[in-house]
Structure 1
């Protein structure tokens, strides 16, 4: 019998990511990833213990593509935070099925921790400390996770917004008016507008 081939963590994560991108989060399983790799399910257990291990690998695989270097220190702290936010959104947004997993496993991801470390360095240099710094980081993470999910699962250009515009204006005057405006907005304007409102609040 030929000796089983050795697989790297990158190969395992890439196979799991291929399953997620193609078939969705519900399809991620040991069997599906083994098939993607062309090995038996039992063979996959030589490398990972269970689906949770696969989830951690794929989160690290995606987040490792995020540039975590410190943005230009000659710019304002707000501009630096915007750069960090764009980097995370662009990378994770390319694999929206990974977003829920990144929430669960971010504490186990060295790449995710490096992103947060850089954001905290920017905030610290800007004078944030103690509870204010904690709240600022959590608010940024909460906005980014929610904004990326909304962009891909409920985009303004999608049928949900159209359906709201067709509600009876007498019952939902503000919803219908807002939806009509929303249909004219693109994803970048929505994302950056929300981020800048958040930064206005942090800057107050």
Structure 2
């Protein structure tokens, strides 16, 4: 039987996102989303097959604001344009950090991720990347993006962990302690785009 239409996909995704934002990834379940919507868990199954489908809907809702078109200035260096594309994704996902772990699992089905990837691949192709080299380049960029966002929100340089590292005994960990003391002064944008610049320069070799 066809699913009822009284509950739109956007409303379902918004309810799941509300649970994620409030309770984190461990709090997301069919039961908690049903409760958020004021309905029974069994009734929710009339609209979605299960948690995996809910996750995909949430990912697409969060990323739907991402501009997946190429950066406006086609004369800008390809590295700068790729940095713009990664910055757009970082901004969208960063507003809902609990969604970060869900993005890799749904990268093949979320329309926004597919369009974003196509744009980045076009920029890599423009830079001369082909075949396996383009595969590795895209994976490196996506890996950096996901890892950097996770670190920014789950282990920020401004956090207590950095302070603890900075207080390590210098006779045992001289470089780690010194690096941590410098890290406390690095803003999040500098960390993200500075690391990305290092990666992109490596890709340019």
TM-score between both structures, scaled by the size of structure 2: 0.96
Question: Separation in 1 of the partners of 2:12 and 2:50?
Answer: 12
Shift of 1:110: 1.2
More moved, 50-59 vs 194-203: 50-59
Residue correspondence of structure 1 range 1-150 to structure 2 within 5 A: 6-71=6-71, 72-150=73-151
Shift of 1:201: 0.2
Asked whether 1:160 is paired with 2:135, we answer no
Asked whether 1:178 is paired with 2:190, we answer no
Per residue, is there more helix in 1 or in 2? 1
1:32-69 CA-to-partner distances (Å, cap 9, x unmatched) read: 10111111111111101111111111111112111101
Question: Separation in 1 of the partners of 2:27 and 2:79?
Answer: 39
Structure 2 unaligned spans of 5+: none
Please state whether the residue corresponding to 1:118 is helix, strand or coil.
Answer: helix
Shift of 1:185: 0.5
Give the match for residue 187 of structure 1.
188
Please state whether the residue corresponding to 2:108 is helix, strand or coil.
Answer: helix
Please state whether the residue corresponding to 1:104 is helix, strand or coil.
Answer: coil
* Cα distance change on mapping 1:5 and 1:70 into 2, 3 Å: closer
1:123-164 CA-to-partner distances (Å, cap 9, x unmatched) read: 111211111111110000000000000000000000000010
